[in-house]
Structure 1
Amino acid sequence: MMSLSTRSATESDVPFIHGLLNGYAEDGKLLSRPETEITKRLDAFLVATENDEVIGCASLETFTSELGEVRSLAVMPAFQGKGHGRNLVNVIEQMGQERGLARIIALTYVPGFFRKLGYQIVPMESLPEKVFGVCVTCPKFNNCDEIAMQKRLSPTEAPA
């Protein structure tokens, strides 16, 4: 039987995360992230596993007390279509709710995936925290072809 799970990334996961992200970056599907940046932001990363093998990753970037982003979402091609990406996004959203975030955004080339998870397309201009905080340093800043999407999170209920 298949065992699917998600856990916090550890230092031993950094080479896998770096290799997976750079593989997709070479195909133009993601932006590359240097190993040093992954290591520095390791507390924001999750990994997906199938039968204890690491097969995917994602991270939660927090911009303000209300806004976060799903970043670096990737699953090895042989393991796609099995719910790993959806599980990673669900855990990112739960983390966002626990931090009190009101919205989660994603910049993507795969809007259909995020639409199925309740995200809606929004104008890039509606995300100044992202554009002026991160995008300005991107090599694609002047011709960004990613689609901005957003999901409003439900506030978490305080325990009774």
Structure 2
Amino acid sequence: MITTEELVELTKRDLVLDRASLSDMPQVHAMINEYADRGEMLHRSLAELYEYVRDFTIIREAGGVVACASLHVIWDDLAEIRSVAVKEDLQSHGLGALLVEHCVDEARSLGLSRVFCLTHKPGYYEKLGFNRTEVMSFPRKVWSECIRCPKFSACNEIAMSMDLK
């Protein structure tokens, strides 16, 4: 759960945690695809981001979107946390962790029993309470994203999950 102290810290820094709007999506698109260009996450088209705008939570400052994350419901008991991105100059300030915690809180409020992510940084997610798991334990629907990945045949991402109940 996001603490009062974390919200106060955001306010001190003139940062706001918010639901994404359609007007935020071009900035989210640029940030995600910057990471994707380095092979750190999947590219997302602007059309896809508009389609999934309701999945996204962002952190904004006066200059625009500085961080984002998405909670995508897969089934009645499972959701994926994806597209976690923070602008380079604001990394290591806890913004990504705050967004992941927010996604976990939202998953709990929806009544989901498990969240997962696929990542190159398992240590980061372990610090947030996730555990390594086998990707084969997830339904096939999860793999619909994997097929689009250029590394599909030689995937190097680690599956991480958190039980919520």
Q: TM-score, structure 2 length as denominator?
A: 0.87
Q: CA deviation at 1:127?
A: 1.4
Structure 2 residue 4 is matched with structure 1 residue 4: no
1:141–1:130: structure 2 CA closer, same or farther, 3 Å change rule? farther
Aligned ranges 1:74-153 → 2 under 5 Å: 74-153=85-164
Match in the other structure for 2:42: 31
Distance 1:79 1:132 in 2: 31
Distance 1:97 1:129 in 2: 23
**Residue-pair matches, total:** 154
Distance 1:132 1:70 in 2: 14
Runs of 4+ in structure 1 off by over 6 angstroms are none
Q: CA deviation at 1:131?
A: 4.1
Distance 1:51 1:98 in 2: 30
Q: What does the per-residue CA deviation read over 1:117-141, in whole Å, with 9 as the maximum and x for residues that have no partner?
A: 0001101111134544432343322
**RMSD between aligned alpha carbons?**
1.6
* Matched-pair contact (CA < 8 Å) for 2:28–2:65: no
Distance 1:27 1:132 in 2: 22
Distance 1:90 1:74 in 2: 14
Match in the other structure for 1:63: 74
Q: CA deviation at 1:59?
A: 0.5
Distance 2:149 2:139 in 1: 14
Structure 2 residue 32 is matched with structure 1 residue 21: yes
Q: Matched residue of 2:79: which SS?
A: strand
Gaps of 5+ in 1: 155-160
Q: TM-score, structure 1 length as denominator?
A: 0.89
Question: More deviation in 74-83 or 3-12?
Answer: 3-12
Distance 1:89 1:144 in 2: 23
Q: CA deviation at 1:3?
A: 3.2
Q: Matched residue of 1:23: which SS?
A: helix
